[in-house]
A = this chain, B = another copy of it.
Amino acid sequence: MSGVFGCFDRTGANDVSKDLYYGVFSLQHRGQESAGIAVNNGGSFLLHKQMGMVTDVFDEMTLSALPGFCGIGHARGGSDNSSGTDGIQPILIKSRVGNIGISCDSVILNADEIRDELKNLGAIFQSSTDSELILSLFSRNRITTDDCEHAILNMMKEIKGVYSMIFMTDNKLIGVRDPFGLRPLVLGRTGERYFLSSESCALDAIGAEFVRDIEPGEIISISEEGISSYFFDEDNANRVADGHICIFEYVYVARPDSTIDGTEIFASRYTAGQALAKEQPCDCDLVIGAPDSGNAAALGYADALGVPYGMGLLKNRYVGRTFIKSTQGQRELAVRMKFSVLKSAVAGKRICIVDDSLVRGTTTKHIIRFMRENGAREVHLRLASPPVKFACCYGVNADKVQDLPAHTKSNQEICDMIGADSLGYISLESLKASLTGIHCKQCSACFDGNFIAGKAENGGDN
């Protein structure tokens, strides 16, 4: 997963880098492994990127060395198919049509095939990233120099996958959302300054106005002349309604204060918690959220159930890149460092933990044990999403299917494994129903195996 952000100032004001910084910073939850910003400074492209979190990669000095009226930024997670420094974005190239920069959040399913094709045509690759592949393909599809948008359209016809991309050319900022609309991308503005962002929370952060979601298959092109859109499927009148946003954005990925395709994340999680209470009530004294991602659903659950919502577990806000993560055999200590149990809230009580989802269950197992160590009489687990039975080949969870307990184990087996007294999931129907006001359909392949954008050729066991 990644966060992408772009900015174009139509007045030519040369100071977009601070907005890019704050924008990327606000998308940090989508990727903490590396960060980068590239700007268009009157035709010459400048770039700063490296491994690390946004606040480590940039400071006043590096930002002040990035003047520009247009720019793109990127925050990358570690789970995509490139390793280490290889895949730090944005990437800049020079091609027949001039400078091009790209910042993208993507999984290209037929990347290997296309790479081989391009290699056979003589192309060389300096990394194994989707971004370089996309630029190489784009470059080959460029027909006339005045029309990047159609070159992008042609490229979209060859690639199979899910993506939100932002291109920066010598005089344009171009955003692209995949035809299935699996990845989010929104448009914002402040006066004549336009923004593209993975999520709306980054617009709020910089005080920009949310304009709209980019449509599935839309290519939005922002330049001094104006803003225009092109569509992968021009003829589809129901483009928006036919989209399939990734349902895990609402369950876990997106920031609670973002609104994606018509639904605020926090509200959807709270509502899911309420629905969960109806489907999977629990005889307990206290409802607590698995911090921080389970809190919204836990609150909804408690409210609907009429049981007190409490804090029983706090997340240490200083855990970050602490080395303890990497030390095998110290996993338990790592979890202990990450969470604090509030004994007074827990002791002697029947606790119901509400979490957003159960993927591997490792952390949950430790949390339940901590509860018991601190005197909880019973510990129940309720999940605001259905069993995760399929590995997402679109990059949302990087797990192998055999590592997903819900793929093979019964509820009772999972209860035994994690030490819970009972376990309950929301149904997929109720989860979908909790997305009040949503404009489109959802991809819920991780729950139902329906991979809307296809699967990778070689990805049988994904």
Q: Give A residues with C-beta under 8 Å from B.
A: 22, 25-26, 28-29, 32, 53-55, 58-60, 91-96, 100, 116, 119-126, 128, 132, 135-136, 139-142, 201, 204-207, 255-257, 259, 264, 266-267, 270, 292, 295-296, 299, 303, 308-311, 314-324, 327, 333, 336-337, 340-345
Contact B342 A266 (CB under 8 A): yes
A309–B206 Cα gap in the complex (Å)? Answer: 28
Contact B122 A121 (CB under 8 A): yes
**What B residues does A267 contact at CB under 8 A?**
342, 344-345
Instruction: Give the shortest distance, in Å, between A101 (CB) and chain B (any CB).
Output: 11
Contact B318 A207 (CB under 8 A): no
A333–B208 Cα gap in the complex (Å)? Answer: 12
Instruction: Give the shortest distance, in Å, between A111 (CB) and chain B (any CB).
Output: 12
**What B residues does A116 contact at CB under 8 A?**
96
Contact B29 A318 (CB under 8 A): yes
Contact B92 A323 (CB under 8 A): no
**What B residues does A340 contact at CB under 8 A?**
201, 204, 255-257
A206–B311 Cα gap in the complex (Å)? Answer: 22
Of B125, B255, B341, which one neighbours A95 at CB under 8 angstroms? B125
Contact B26 A337 (CB under 8 A): yes
The chain B residue with its CB closest to the CB of A141 is B122
Contact A93 B266 (CB under 8 A): no
Contact A125 B94 (CB under 8 A): yes
Contact B317 A317 (CB under 8 A): yes
A60–B324 Cα gap in the complex (Å)? Answer: 9
Interface centre among A26, A55, A257 (most CB of B within 10 A): A257
Instruction: Give the shortest distance, in Å, between A331 (CB) and chain B (any CB).
Output: 14
**What B residues does A311 contact at CB under 8 A?**
256, 266, 295-296, 299
Instruction: Give the shortest distance, in Å, between A327 (CB) and chain B (any CB).
Output: 7
A344–B264 Cα gap in the complex (Å)? Answer: 7
* CB-CB under 8 A for A318 and B123, given A257-B341, A266-B344: no
Contact A318 B28 (CB under 8 A): yes
**What B residues does A120 contact at CB under 8 A?**
96
**What B residues does A141 contact at CB under 8 A?**
122
